[in-house]
Amino acid sequence: MKHLFKHSQRRARTARQQGFTLVELAVVLAVIGLIIGAVAIGKDVQRNAEYTKIKNKFIDQWEQAYMQYYQRVGGVLGDSQTAPQNMVNGEVWLATGAGARRSGRDMTTVALPSAICRGAAGRGMSRPFTSGTDPDLRALMTRVGIRMPPGRSEGLEDRYVYLDSNGNPQEVQVCFQWNRPLGDGAADEAVGDGTGNVMVITGLTPDLARALDQMIDGKPDEREGRFRREGVVNNAGGLVNAPGQEWQASNHDKIATKNNAGLDEDQVAIVTAIYRMTQ
């Protein structure tokens, strides 16, 4: 009997030793939480690193290529060499008769020249590009020996592929165009795309657009600065030069929509931005 009692005590003690105390469970849960947090932070760090790479290795290098063209040729992309207008695609603008007024006078109502792209206009661009009529971006650069960023591949140097926050591929494309200054009428003052020659950047997720705006202008503001959203209303509430506003789209918007109801598997919505050049 005594032997059986000792045996049952030993089994009970063994059973207690096989369980977990509350302290042990708390430690395990804390470790799991740290691992999950590290994975989430790692994804954010990786995404931020990719955004910085797009800025440094693609956007900045295209700005440098644009400036190298200006320094080497003495004019901006597609401008006339004999009658320079200081306008991107100024030569075609003159040839089509749209430039009868000549640049340097009242430019608020002149017809807009087409954009200069590689092969086709970017997704969501409001300005047209006609292949075969308007100068090809790659042809202009290679003709004067300008080295372009690697981009997506040879022949597609104007494009760059990255993954959005849901892991779906997105393609950034750059074009260049000239924007006229705003007029005095209320309708003319409504949309301010940044006067002068600009780089048009399509295929940006809202998250990437905000990151680029922060790196370029020091704050994410879709209405003001050198980097802004194309087509943004510039006189909100009837106020000229109204205070800035945050980027309206979000990574919760599904591509081609603004319903704020995108799923984790959906391709994220994209926006078009303009980046004003210094020449």
Query: What is the per-residue pLDDT for 5?
Result: 44
Query: What is d(CA 271, CA 259) in angstroms, rounded to the nearest whole number?
Result: 14
Residue the block writes with tokens 């047209």: 128
> What are the tokens at 164?
């959005």
Got the DSSP string for 198-237? EEEEEEE-HHHHHHHHHHHHSS--SSSSSEEETT-BSSGG
Cα–Cα separations (whole angstroms), residue 38 to 33, 43, 50, 251, 255:
8, 9, 18, 22, 29
Predicted pLDDT at 99: 52
pLDDT at residue 9 in the model? 52
Residue 195: per-residue pLDDT: 77
Q: Tens of pLDDT along the chain (279 residues)?
A: 444 444 455 554 544 555 667 777 777 777 777 666 655 555 667 788 899 999 999 999 999 999 999 999 999 999 988 888 899 998 888 877 655 567 777 787 788 899 999 999 999 898 999 988 899 999 999 999 999 999 999 999 999 999 988 889 999 999 999 998 876 655 555 666 777 999 999 999 999 999 999 999 998 888 888 999 998 876 655 565 666 788 887 777 887 776 666 667 788 889 999 999 998
Q: Are 21 and 29 in contact (CB under 8 A)?
A: no
- What 3-state DSSP class applies to 262? coil
Phi and psi, residue 3, nearest 5°: -65, -40
What are φ and ψ of residue 147, in 5° steps?
-85, 125
Kindly report the pTM of this predicted structure: 0.81
Question: Scanning the structure block, which residue is given the tokens 């995108």?
Answer: 262
User: Which pLDDT score, from 0 to 100, does residue 37 have?
Assistant: 61
Q: Phi then psi for 191, rounded to 5 degrees?
A: -115, 115
Chain centre distance of CA 213:
8
The Cα–Cα gap between 150 and 158 comes to 8
Give pLDDT, residue 137. Answer: 96
What pLDDT was estimated at residue 22? 74
* Angle formed at CA 271 by CA 182 and CA 185, multiple of 5 degrees: 15
Domain ranges of the chain: 52-276
103: region left, alpha or beta (phi > 0 left; psi from -120 to 50 alpha): beta
Nearest to 152 by CA among 119, 129, 113: 119
**Which tokens belong to 73?**
């040729």
50 and 162 Cβ atoms separated by less than 8 Å: yes
Contacts of 226 (CB under 8 A, 6+ apart): 194, 216, 217, 275, 276
- What is the distance between the alpha carbons of residues 178 and 115, in angstroms, rounded to a whole number? 7
